[in-house]
Each structure stands twice: as C-alpha cells, then as structure tokens.
C-alpha cells in the first residue's frame, strides 16, 4: 500500500486511556474504512470521465470491531447484547458522551454491516486506493 504523508500529523487525537469499546459477546462485526483522499480522488475520476452507474467507493479489506479497538488504543469489554443495548440507550439518553459516542441505532448498523464490493471501480477504471481500511483508520486516528 502506498501512503502519502499525513498533512494533519500535528493534530494527534488520542482516546481516553479508560475508553472502552463495548462489544457484543461472541460477535465478529466487520467494517470498511475509506480515506477521504481516496474518496475525493475516486469522485474526481468518475466525474472527469463522465461515468454513469454505481461505483462503490470503499476501502480494501474489513476490520473486526476488536481490531478497530486495538488500533485506536481502546480496551474492549465483551457483554451480552441486551446489556450493550441498555448501556448505550441509557448513556445516550443522559448525554453521557464519555460513555457512549453514538446513538443506540448504530448497534444494529454494526451487527449487520454493509459490505461493499469496490471491484468495478478498480477493474473498469484501474483505480488504485492509497489506503486500505486499516491505513485509513490509522490516518483518521492520527489526525
């Protein structure tokens, strides 16, 4: 993978050392991540060429939630699904953004993720991503 120098390197953000990812016990949620530079380049290429139809702009590879937590330096806490839902709902209702950072509806998005096939963009247009999913997440974390 080719990586460009991060133009925002001076603005490092870090998770609170007590930050925890609440994971559903027994789950293996997987997610795509795509870097903003790749999205901009792909959009430009599609517009410049006047392409029609659907092209999925999604980073190569997927990461499990546990891998995301590790890459972000967060500890994981594996709990039964009803407990994760209850903690998330209560935390969101009370505005405890240190406890939860997303609305309860996101739990289902993570449980049933969208899996995107980006082959059309790569095969038909020869598009090459600069960042795979892991590199995109690392770049986001480091900015």
Q: How far apart are CA 86 and CA 141, in angstroms?
A: 28
pLDDT at 72: 83
| 102/34 Cα distance (integer angstroms) | 19
Confidence (pLDDT) at 57: 96
**Residue 130: per-residue pLDDT:** 97
Burial zone of 68 (CB within 10 Å; 0-12 exposed, 13-18 middle, 19+ buried): buried
Q: What is the mean pLDDT of residues 56-79?
A: 86
What DSSP element (H or E) covers 12? none
pLDDT, tens digit, 9 for 90 and up, residues 4-36: 444 433 333 444 444 566 677 777 778 889 999
Residues 6+ apart with CB under 8 A from 20: 74, 75, 76, 77
Q: What pTM was estimated for this model as a whole?
A: 0.73
pLDDT, position 2? 47
Could you report the per-residue pLDDT of 84-141, keeping only the tens digit for each? 889 889 988 998 876 777 788 888 877 777 789 999 999 999 999 999 999 999 998 8
């Amino acid at each position: 993978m080719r990586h460009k120098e991060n133009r925002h390197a001076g603005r490092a953000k870090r998770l609170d050392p007590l930050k925890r990812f609440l994971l559903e016990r027994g789950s293996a949620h997987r997610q795509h991540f795509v870097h903003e530079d790749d999205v901009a380049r792909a959009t430009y290429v599609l517009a410049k060429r006047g392409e029609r139809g659907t092209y999925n702009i999604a980073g190569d590879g997927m990461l499990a939630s546990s891998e995301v937590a590790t890459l972000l330096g967060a500890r994981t806490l594996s709990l039964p699904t009803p407990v994760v839902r209850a903690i998330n709902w209560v935390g969101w209702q009370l505005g405890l953004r240190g406890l939860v950072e997303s609305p309860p509806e996101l739990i289902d998005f993570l449980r049933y993720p969208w899996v995107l096939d980006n082959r059309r963009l790569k095969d038909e247009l020869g598009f090459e991503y600069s960042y795979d999913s892991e590199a995109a997440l690392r770049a986001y974390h480091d900015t």
